[in-house]
Structure 1
Amino acid sequence: MSGEMSFFGLFLQASFLVQLVMLLLLATSVVSWAFIFQRSKALNHARLEVRKFEDKFWSGGDLNRLFQEISARQHVSGMASLFVAGFKEFARLRKSGSASPQAVMDGTYRAMRVSLSREVDALESNLPFLATAGSISPYIGLFGTVWGIMNAFIALGEVQQATLAMVAPGIAEALIATAMGLFAAIPAVIAYNRFSHQVEKLENSYGNFMEEFSSILHRQSHSSDSATRE
């Protein structure tokens, strides 16, 4: 392309509104990519933490020792957070001595449900922005294109003899807005769908752990209650 028909040259020749649309789409793309890298790193870390915790939890070690080890950390997240919330509430209700085994389990499960909700909210952080960027960026680009083409035809109508060379730059700069809209939208949509699937899988893993851990605590609660009665 010649210097006049380069991307930067067409950007400078575009109307103020089309320039504003291009800058908005460029900023959206930059922010989207930043969130994509950040979410990818966070979800990879979450999956790694799940594997590490499950290895420790199902190794057959003492749950009290595991609870103390995890509670000593400065930051607890993921499946470990559910374990700490559930075990802490279970121990507190058992120590009170006034709650029935069913009440103990109900309180324990509620505590884990609250922790699960917080963890899922953290995993879904920034995903709404990607969904919004993926859905509206093409329309923003299309708006810039329509506006640019409209201006090009208005200018074309003011001359007596129209040539392709006169209208081509205006149409080209307008079409760039659509291209930028697609450039911002496509990665955002792909990333949103991929991350949503990963979050769903992690949420299922957390839910399965809650059920399994509840079953373990339920057996402990009833066995302890039976031993006390005897």
Structure 2
Amino acid sequence: MKHIALLSGETSNLSIENLAICTTYILSSNIQLLVASATLTKAVLSDITCLLHIQANKLVVICCSSDQPNIKIEVRKIRYALSSYADLVFLIPAGFKVSDPPPQKFLIFFNNIPESINAACSLHRCLPSELRVKIKWFNADMLMTYKEVELENLVSGETWGLCTTASFGMGMDIADIFLVIQWRATCKIAALWQWFCRAVQNQELTGMALLLAEKQYFDYEQEAKAARKMR
């Protein structure tokens, strides 16, 4: 029987609604739909089944655990100006030399392409000129051939880290990415968990997932701000 595969992630409501029009008015009712996501929440599942007119008696839900106990999760407050990206310089030890061992592989996720490029350029300034090619940006504007080459470079260790967007997503499973960073609290929790799960696909390794968040999202900062207003 014919079927259509749908990948659900950071999909907009508009794109789902457009798809719903296709399934309702264009496609045959006997075509099976496969909706796959690394983090298919109950709310998203409810929306999709409603918009795509999937009947409950014809729906099969298969859930697999996304728990990765080998990934340590940490949240840190961004302390410096956002435009400086100074909170990321810990990735490159001060005074880094060509002869020094490379840092562990890392991914940094950003909400938009300009931020990812600016952050990569900021990290370049921490490296000798001949090593700046080791850290690159990776986004949807790149050609597929470039993405394939850079994925291979990251696997081999030729590239140390990528400043990326949602374009580095499902299916890009690399065993030894030891650190995944989300820059700013700008994404939904489902997307955040997908980014974090890009770390250490080798279950025998231990990695870290780090959220660098703006100060306004911390309770003690909000309490301090409220106290200042009451003075």
In which range does the TM-score fall when normalised by the shorter chain?
A: under 0.3
Q: Higher strand proportion, which one?
A: 2
Return the TM-score normalized by structure 1: 0.24
Return the TM-score normalized by structure 2: 0.24
Q: Higher helix proportion, which one?
A: 1
- Higher RCO, 1 vs 2 (CA within 8 Å, ≥6 residues apart): 1
